[in-house]
Structure 1
Amino acid sequence: MKFENILEEIDSFGPFQIAIIILLCAPRIVLPCHFLLNNFIAALPPHRCDISTLGDGGLFRNLTQEQRLTVSLPVRGDGGPRSCEMFAEPQFQLLANSSGSADLPTVQCQSGWVYDNSTFTSTLATEWDLVCDRKSLTQTTGTIFFFGVMIGAIAFGFLSDKYGRKNTLLASYLMAIVFGFASAFANSYILFAVLRFLTGFGLTGISINSIVLSIEWVDTSHRSFIGVIGSLSWSAGNMLLAGFAFLVNDWRTLIMTVTAPLGFAVLTWWWIPESARWLLAHGKVEKAHFYLDKCAKFNKRQKVLSKLKLETLANVEVLEKQDQNYTYLHLIKTPKMRQLTLLTGIVWYGVASTYYGISLNISSFGLNIYLTHFIYAAIEVPAKLGIYFFLNIVGRRKCQAGTLLLTGICIAINLFLPQGLWHVRAVVAILGKGLSEASFTTVFLYTTELYPTVVRQNGLGYTSFISRLGVSVAPLVLMLEDVSTVLPQIIICSVAFISGLVALLLPETLNVRLPETIDDIEKPRGNEVSSLSVESPAVNLESKSTTDIEQ
C-alpha cells in the first residue's frame, strides 16, 4: 500500500491541507523581509565630509553654509561635493573662481560625515560610518547573513529528518525571533553581524520546513499548486517589505517590524501537524495514525480511516530500515543519488545567484528604491501564476531549464542595450526578474519531488546550503562593478545559462509518485518510475492481503 492511497481516501486536498497552508503563511511572509532587508538597512545615502569643526573664528565663521562648502570640499563632475575628501586647508580663493579646484591638495574626511536623511532616518552606514573605505562592510552584512542561512540549511536539514518537521519548525521560530529582535539593539557592528548570522541560521528552518510540511500532506496532482501558493507568500512579503521600509525609515525599528509576525507564527504552531510521511518513515505508526485521524475528521472522512488498522498502516511503503539514521552521506552513497545531488546542487546555485544578483541590484533602475523594490516584487506574482500552469503542461524539467535560460537571455539583452534606452532596459530587467522568480518557484517544488522521503530534508538542506553559497557570493559579484560595469552581469548571465542546461539532465517528476526510499531512486519498480495517472483509484483500505501491501 502506498501513502498516496491513504491520502486519497481521507481527501488529499481538503480543508485540512488548506489550513496548513494558511498557518504557514505568516512565517513565509517574514522570510523575504529578512532575506532582502539589506536593500534598505544597508542603503548608502548621499554624504559629505563634516566641516562643522572648521567654523571657529576668522573669516570662515562669517561665511554662509554654501560658501563654507565651496572652500572646504572638492566637487564631483556633476557639481556635488565629493563624498570622501576635503581640502587640506580652506581654499578661500575659490569664492572668486572655483574652476581651479581640481588640482588642489585633498585629504580624507577628518571629522566624520554629514548624511542626507531625506530618504532614511538612519541606516547601518550612518550608524557606524560605513562609507568611503569602509563602504564594503554594508554589503558584507548581507554576505554574513546568508552564511548563517547556508550553515542553517545543513543543520536544519539534518535535524528535520532526525527529529521531525514540526519540532524543528518551532526551534526556527524561536531562534529567528530572539536573534532578530536582538540585532535591532546591537551597539556595535561586530555584534550586529554576529546576530544577523544567527538570525539567518534560524530563518532557514522556516524556509525548508514550511514547504516540505505542505507538500508531504497532499497528493501528486496538487503538489505544484502547493508549491506556487507557498511561493506567493514570499511575493506578498516582498511587496510588504517595500511598504514597511517606506513607512519605517529607521533601520532598528524596521528590523523589529519585519520580525514581529513570527510571534503570531509561534501561536499558530500548535495547530500545525507533523508530517505523517516522516512519522511512518521512522516507525512512529501510532502518532502517524493520530495525525491521519485528525486529517480525516477535518476533511469529514473519518469513517474511511476507521477501517484502517495500525498493523496495515505499519506496512505502508514509506518504510526503509526504521532503525537507520539517515545523514547527508546517504546523498552520495549510491550512484544515482550522487548524480542527483550533483545536478541539483548546480541548478540551485544558478537559481539563487541569478535571483539575488538581480534583486540586490535595485539601484540600477535609477528610480526610487522603494518603487523599484515593489515593482521587482510585484512582477513575481504573474510569473508564479504563469509557471503554475506550465508546470502541469510541459513538466518540471522543461520549466526549470526554460526559466533559467530565458533569464540569462534577458540579462544578455541588457548588456547590449545602450544606457539611453532606459525604458526598454527597465522592461527587460523586470521580465528577467519575473523569470528568475519563476525558476525559484520551480526549483523548490522540483527538488522536493526528486528526493526520497527518508532524506528529503537532508536533500533540501544540502541544496539550500548550495543556494545560499550562491546568494552569499552575489553581493561580492555586484561589487565587481568597480572593476567593470558589465562584469557582474556577464557572470550572472553565464551562471544562468550553465545551470539551465544542467537542469535538462534531471529526471521529470510530473505525475510521478513521491519517492519514499533510496531504493526508489536506485532501483525503480513498476509504477514508481512511470508517470502515474492522478485519477488512478485508491487501494481498498479494508484489504490486508500481502498482495495489497506490496502494491
Structure 2
Amino acid sequence: MDVEEAFQVVGEFGAYQKRAVAVLALTQVYMACQSMLVVLVGASPEVHVEKHDGVHSPVTFFGDVDSIVTEWLLVKQQSYKVSLAGSLFFVGLLLGSFVLGPLSDTVGRRPVYLTALFLEVLLGYVTAASPSYEVFAASRLLVGLMNGAIGLVCFILTQEYVGKSYWAVTGTLTSMTFAVGIALFAALGFVIRPWRTLATAANTWGVLCFLLSTCVPALSTTLPESPRWLYCRRHTRRAQEVMRYMALMNGRPAHKLTLRPAGGGSGGSGGSGILQLATHPLLRLRTFLLMYVWYACSLVYYGLTLGAGDVSGNRYLNVAMSGLVELPAYPLCVYCMNRPWAGRRKSLSAFLCLSAWACLGAIFIPEDAETSLGVTSLALLGKLTVSAAFNIVYVYTSELYPTVVRNAGLGVCAMSCRVGGILAPFVPSMRALAAAVPFSVFSLSGFSAGALVLLLPETLGAPPAHTLEQLQPGSRRVLENKKLHGNKCESRMAGRCRVCCRHALKRTRISNFAQNSRPNRCYSGGWFLEKLPS
C-alpha cells in the first residue's frame, strides 16, 4: 500500500495524531506572543518635552507605562524605532521562510522545527535582557528568522501527520490557536506591566513547547518525522516504522501495514525545489498568483492587528478583541471549504472581498468620538474575514503543491507574505497623511487578491500530489481496486462523486471500472474514475 492507504489503516486522525497536533497548536500560541510582543512592549504613553532657550529638557511621561519607549526615550524623532523593531521581526520571518523553510524539504521537517524552536527560545531571552535598543532590534530580527521556519514546518506537520480529509481541520486549528495566543498575550500584558518581565513570561511558553516536542515520551507527545516526507523521499522503511508506531499508539493493528516503494521522481532537494517553482510552467503560474494573495492577506491581517493598539480605547482590550474576533471565522471557513458549492477557491475569494468591503466602508465614516465605535466594528469585521482568508490560503496552498516541493512552495509564498508583514506596521501610521489612507490600502489589496484567486484551480476532492509528475494531466496517481457501477461511486472520493459521476456517464461511455483507473475531473468540477488505456 502507499502512504494514503496506510492512513486508512493507521487512522486518519487517531489519538496519537491528536496529541501531536495539540503540541504543534500550542507552539502557535508561543509564535503569536512573539509576533505581538512589540505591540505591548513598545507602548508609547503621553509624553511632554519642554524647550528652554532652544534646548530640550528631560522627557516627562504621563501614565504608568514601562516599555522600550520609556526606557530608551523613543519619542519624537526616535519614535520610528518602535515600528522599525516590528518590521525587523517580519524581515526575519521573510528570511526564515525563504532559507530555513525549504531546508525542511531536504533534511526533514523534524530537525528544522526543533532546532529553530530551541534557538528562538534562547533569542527570546536575549530580547528580554537587551541592554540597549540595538541589541533588542537585532534579537527581534533573529527571533523572526526562527519564527519563520517554525511557522511553515509547524503547519506542514499538522497536515502530514493526518489523512487528507482532515487537512482543513488541522490547518484551521493552527490558525485558531494563533488567534487565541494573541488574546492570551493581551491578558498577560494586562497582568504584567514591566516590559522585560512580560517578554520573559511570554518566552517561557516556548520552553514548554520544546519539552513537549522532545522530552516527554510518557505523554506520547514526542514528534516523529513526517511519514509523507519520508515516503516521497523514498525512505520507505523509516516511513513504515513511523506509520506502525502511529497505529500502535492509536490502538490499531500494525502487523499488516507494509508500504510499497514510492513511484515517480523524488523532486530533488530544497534548493532545486525552489528552482522547479520557477521552471515548471504550472507551478510558476500558481506561485506568482499565490505570492500576491499571501502578500495581500498578510498586509491586511497584520495591518489591522498591529493597528489595534492605536485605536481609541483600552490598548489591552483592543489587542485581545483583535484576536478573539477571529475565532468565529474558523468554523465558518471550514464549513465553506468543504462544501461543493464553495470549495477552497471561491471561499478564499469571497472572504478577501468581504474584508475589502469592510475596510472600504470604514473610509466613509468620519473619525470622531461618536463614530469611533463604527470604525472599530468595521475594522474588526475586516479582521474576521481576512483571518478566514488567511486560514484558507494556508490549506489551499499546501494542496496546490506536491509533497516534494510543498515546503519550498510555502516558503516562497510566505516570503511574499512577510513583505506584507514588513509594510504592515507602517500602514496605520499613514493616517497622518489622511485618515482614509490605511483603509484604502487594505481595501484595494483585498479586492485585487480576491479577483486573482479565481484564476487558480479548485482542489476540493482532488487526491494529493506527491511528485511533479502527478501534476501533469493524465498522470495522476492510480486508484486501485475501485469500481464504478452505474451511477454509484464506490471509491473513497467523498459524496461529490455520486453527483459528478452521473455527468461523467453522460459524456463518456463508461460502464464498469476495474483496477486500471485514474481520477479525472468532469465539467461540473467534481471527480470521477476514468479507465486508463490498455
- Shared fold (TM-score greater than 0.5)? yes
Pair 1:133 & 2:80 matched: no
CA shift for structure 1 position 5: 1.3
SS at match of 1:327: helix
CA shift for structure 1 position 22: 1.4
Cα deviations by residue, 1:496-533 (Å, 9 ceiling, x for unpaired) = 11111111111111121221111222345357899971
Pair 1:197 & 2:146 matched: no
CA shift for structure 1 position 202: 0.9
2:183 to 235, 239, 261: 239
Structure-1 separation of matches of 2:11 and 2:109 = 22
CA shift for structure 1 position 196: 0.8
CA shift for structure 1 position 195: 0.8
Distance 1:361 1:301, change over 3 A: same
CA shift for structure 1 position 326: 3.6
Letter of the 1:299 counterpart: N
SS at match of 1:380: coil
SS at match of 1:506: coil
1:248 to 169, 180, 192: 192
Letter of the 1:500 counterpart: G
2:427 to 477, 482, 506: 477
Partner of residue 154, structure 1? 98
- Counterparts of 1:514-525 in structure 2, within 5 Å, are 514-525=464-475
CA shift for structure 1 position 308: 3.7
Partner of residue 392, structure 1? 338
- The RMSD of aligned alpha carbons is 2.5
Structure-1 separation of matches of 2:112 and 2:269 = 20
- Decide which structure has the larger Cα Rg and report it: 1
- Counterparts of 1:220-239 in structure 2, within 5 Å, are 220-239=164-183
Cα deviations by residue, 1:196-242 (Å, 9 ceiling, x for unpaired) = 10011111222111111111122222111111112111121111011
2:383 to 422, 433, 438: 433
Letter of the 2:457 counterpart: P
CA shift for structure 1 position 155: 1.5
Pair 1:413 & 2:373 matched: no
| Structure 1 residue runs of 4 or more that deviate by more than 4 Å after TM superposition | 321-325, 526-532, 546-551
2:280 to 334, 338, 342: 334
Partner of residue 416, structure 2? 466
Pair 1:346 & 2:292 matched: yes
Distance 1:407 1:532, change over 3 A: farther
Structure-2 separation of matches of 1:231 and 1:260 = 21
CA shift for structure 1 position 26: 2.2
CA shift for structure 1 position 274: 0.8
Partner of residue 374, structure 1? 320
Pair 1:306 & 2:250 matched: no
Letter of the 2:150 counterpart: I
Distance 1:534 1:136, change over 3 A: same
Structure-2 separation of matches of 1:248 and 1:297 = 44
- Counterparts of 1:103-118 in structure 2, within 5 Å, are 107=54, 110-118=56-64
Higher mean C-alpha displacement, 189-198 vs 262-271: 262-271
Q: Residues 29 and 234 of structure 1 are in contact (CA less than 8 Å); yes or no, is this contact kept in structure 2? A: yes
SS at match of 1:512: coil
Distance 1:500 1:321, change over 3 A: closer
CA shift for structure 1 position 318: 7.0
CA shift for structure 1 position 321: 6.0
Percent sequence identity over aligned pairs: 27
Which residues of structure 1 form unaligned runs of 5+?
Answer: 50-85, 90-106, 537-545
Letter of the 1:245 counterpart: G
1:262 to 196, 206, 216: 206
Letter of the 1:283 counterpart: R
SS at match of 1:115: strand
Q: Residues 25 and 173 of structure 2 are in contact (CA less than 8 Å); yes or no, is this contact kept in structure 1? A: no
Distance 1:272 1:363, change over 3 A: closer
Letter of the 2:282 counterpart: K
Which residues of structure 2 form unaligned runs of 5+?
Answer: 215-221, 480-488, 498-514, 520-531
CA shift for structure 1 position 322: 7.0
Pair 1:289 & 2:240 matched: yes
Q: Residues 511 and 532 of structure 1 are in contact (CA less than 8 Å); yes or no, is this contact kept in structure 2? A: no
Q: Residues 329 and 384 of structure 2 are in contact (CA less than 8 Å); yes or no, is this contact kept in structure 1? A: yes
SS at match of 2:44: coil
Q: Residues 515 and 528 of structure 1 are in contact (CA less than 8 Å); yes or no, is this contact kept in structure 2? A: no
Q: Residues 334 and 522 of structure 1 are in contact (CA less than 8 Å); yes or no, is this contact kept in structure 2? A: no
SS at match of 2:279: coil
Structure-1 separation of matches of 2:267 and 2:308 = 50
Structure-2 separation of matches of 1:466 and 1:322 = 23
Structure-2 separation of matches of 1:257 and 1:161 = 33
Distance 1:293 1:521, change over 3 A: same
Letter of the 1:205 counterpart: A
Which structure has the higher relative contact order (CA within 8 Å, separation 6+)?
1
Distance 1:323 1:510, change over 3 A: closer
CA shift for structure 1 position 267: 1.3
CA shift for structure 1 position 456: 0.6
CA shift for structure 1 position 403: 0.8
Letter of the 2:230 counterpart: L
Structure-2 separation of matches of 1:323 and 1:141 = 34
TM-score, structure 1 normalization = 0.83
Distance 1:154 1:524, change over 3 A: farther
TM-score, structure 2 normalization = 0.85
CA shift for structure 1 position 19: 1.4
SS at match of 1:332: helix
Q: Residues 283 and 314 of structure 1 are in contact (CA less than 8 Å); yes or no, is this contact kept in structure 2? A: no
Letter of the 1:33 counterpart: C
Partner of residue 489, structure 1? 439
Pair 1:505 & 2:442 matched: no
Distance 1:324 1:318, change over 3 A: farther
SS at match of 2:238: helix
Distance 1:461 1:151, change over 3 A: same
Structure-1 separation of matches of 2:478 and 2:438 = 43
Distance 1:208 1:179, change over 3 A: same
SS at match of 1:320: coil
Partner of residue 29, structure 2? 29
Structure-1 separation of matches of 2:435 and 2:268 = 55
Letter of the 1:504 counterpart: L
Partner of residue 207, structure 1? 151
Partner of residue 88, structure 1? 52
- Counterparts of 1:41-60 in structure 2, within 5 Å, are 41-49=41-49
